[in-house]
Chain A
């Protein structure tokens, strides 16, 4: 079967260090952290009291989303819709939801694959839980009625994707995936396949995650999984590759990319940002050191190598790795996996960065936000710094020179990006600079 070429023609982002592509890019270049301390987490006696929350006011949301629809969206859905609308506009589509969207024609060749790691926890806590707690006092059959009819669409697994499908009028497959921290990357892989195999000409892909403390609580309960030692210095909390890495910093947001067949992009004269050359997802089977919460290294290496094999690209041509790198004790092991998978001499090891150093770990949105960062770096020829890595972790001193501490202007030919998630699942993407 002939596989069609897939390019990226639009980006949209809602991130803790910038809402909108312009603000996000400026923050990435400046090495600006979006992590802050939250009094509420202290009140709830969380060990880790820092997190990354998109700096977004309701007024800004209502400039994009009609108020009557806004009430029907969970926090993650709002982020996904904002990012998708920006992405559509960035790719050259005119979208103005406030002027009415119901009458716009269905885009039969365009679909969406946007995932969510945990889902509408804000809706569950604020609407569903309180109603249920009062339900036992109500008459039979009436107990659940006060929650209204918008609950299901706000908590169902596909909520973020179908919200985007609704506003953009998408007529190809509109679905969602969930594979923990690999969700965003996996969604890109799913959209990639849809276009490669000719099921769609264009796919909005990515991930979204809310910031409700209910999402973060389970990780806090695990201790040492979240960063609890930097409550006094939140911006220093996310230290991927750093000597002081002591757990990840939770965050939320959304990243959406528009994947498009090369034919379609050329036909409509779209601006092409880069090419997605190859993508793959697998699992380590939770064997040989792999578990529900830790990856089997062989699975990781196989995933990266499969992407390289499919693309036929020599690892020596890769100029940048955007790692999963969460600021946990797993970072040195991930670096070891990259070294083994690429098989390059250490003095030829490509630059390696972690976007999470600035935005924290946004779970289901992470792979998507980081892929937006990758595509933006390729399209604009720069490498963002991996902050808080001045003191490199003792176990990865061998690649210390590959970690960018300052923003660099650099033409990036090939950039490889990976995500790894709970359940021992892996995802890897290979992007290539577009030369018109």
Chain B
């Protein structure tokens, strides 16, 4: 009931006959606004198409959401969705769109959702009737490129594994490492351009920043040059993430024990406080687990380097070297 005792109307959305009208001008005889092309996507069974065909469909679908057009003009299996990677995976809001785009295009037999173990809140998908593809929470954390999305579909049994195709897919570890290199290179190029334009004292300050960026770029270029060095750096990140995860797990265990001890008593205030503390830790733990999964994947893959990855690494190393060299001219003049 509403505040004045009046019944509250539940909004059920527009009347059903409105749904098949996607834009007024698309209606027969109606020419009420500029016509948008109707984007009807026919979903196909993932078991009936090749990885290459699936890749084409993913690229076409994701183009709708991509904001980095120059990057997407020549998009392929190894093009990151937005040309950059943030945090533990690709930017979460875009990940949602990309995953949704993939789900709309494919059908799978893995449609029956069952708990990972009895009473668990985590689920996996098992064979059932052919139906809509469903990507479960966290499964897409490393699906940063069309190729890695296909790998995700294969890893979760939605389509047959194809090692020949996967051999051409750059791992998430190298997508992230190469992405970092491009970001560093872009920043360096922008700073070089900035230093050249600035006058007097501002120029000196910017030159100091440029000097520190050049050092960072040199160090990173050195890390990229050696797969073992890169693996060691990523392993360190993984160990830090693991330590953080374990600390949180201990925190949770302590709170859970306290809750068990208190549940017999009637101290509702303390009980409530502990429950909210537990909920908060569980949330942090879930995020930490996701981060750990990604850093584990990165640490384990960084030490191996396929020919495709090697070529990409060499390309970014070359760009970084060029930028470092270019930085020395204005840098020297400025100082």
Seen from chain A, the residues whose Cβ lies within 8 Å of a Cβ on chain B are 36, 38-41, 43, 51, 53-54, 56-58, 60-61, 66-69, 71, 75, 78, 100, 102, 122, 125-126, 129-130, 132-133, 145-146, 148-150, 210-214, 252
Complex Cα–Cα for A132 and B18 (A): 13
Residues of chain B within 8 A (CB-CB) of A66 are: 69
Cβ contact within 8 Å between B32 and A133: no
User: How far does the alpha carbon of A41 sit from the alpha carbon of B12 in the complex, in Å?
Assistant: 23
Number of A-B contacts (CB under 8 A): 101
Contact flags B21-49 to A (C-beta < 8 A → 1, else 0): 11111011111111111000000000000
Residues on B with C-beta less than 8 A from A54 are 33-34
Pair B97/A100 contact, Cβ less than 8 Å: no
| A175–chain B nearest beta-carbon distance, Å | 23
Task: Please classify the interface of chain B as helix (H, G, I), strand (E, B), loop, or mixed, using the class held by over half of its residues.
Answer: loop
B27-A39 in contact (CB<8A): yes
Smallest beta-carbon distance B67→chain A, Å: 6
- Across the two chains, which residue of chain B brings its CB closest to A127? B22
Residues of B within 8 A of A145 (CB): 96, 100
Kindly report which residue of chain B lies nearest to residue A139, judged by CB atoms: B113
The minimal Cβ–Cβ distance linking A45 to chain B, given in whole angstroms, is 12
Output the nearest chain A residue to B93 by Cβ-Cβ distance.
A149
A60: B residues at CB distance < 8 A = 34
- Docked Cα-Cα span, A100 to B29, in Å, equals 37
In the assembled complex, which residues on chain A have CB atoms less than 8 Å from the CB atom of B100? 145-146, 148
| Cβ–Cβ contact A58 & B72, under 8 A | no
CA distance in complex: A109, B153 (Å) = 49
7 contacts between A and B (CB under 8 A): A40-B29, A56-B33, A57-B34, A58-B34, A149-B94, A211-B24, A211-B32
Number of interface residues of B (CB under 8 A): 36
A100-B24 contact, Cβ under 8 Å, with A53-B33, A125-B18, A146-B100: no
Interface window among B58-66, B167-175, B214-222: B58-66
A211 proximity list for chain B (CB < 8 A): 24, 32-33
The secondary-structure label for the interface of chain A is: helix
Q: How far is the CA of A302 from the CA of B66 in the complex (A)?
A: 51
Q: How far is the CB of B214 from chain A (nearest CB, A)?
A: 23
Cβ-neighbour of A58 out of B12, B22, B36, B66 (below 8 A) = B36
Q: Which residues of A contact B33 (CB under 8 A)?
A: 53-54, 56, 75, 122, 210-212, 252
Interface string of B220-260 (1 = CB under 8 A from A): 00000000000000000000000000000000000000000
Minimum distance in angstroms from A249 CB to a CB of chain B: 13
A67 to B19, CA, bound (A): 24
Q: How far is the CA of A408 from the CA of B87 in the complex (A)?
A: 64
Whether A213 and B32, one on each chain, are in contact in the complex, defined by CB atoms closer than 8 angstroms, is yes
In the complex, which residues of chain B have a beta carbon less than 8 angstroms from the beta carbon of A210?
Answer: 33
Q: Are A53 and B31 CB-contacts (below 8 A) given A58-B36, A148-B100?
A: yes
B7 close to chain A: CB less than 8 A: no
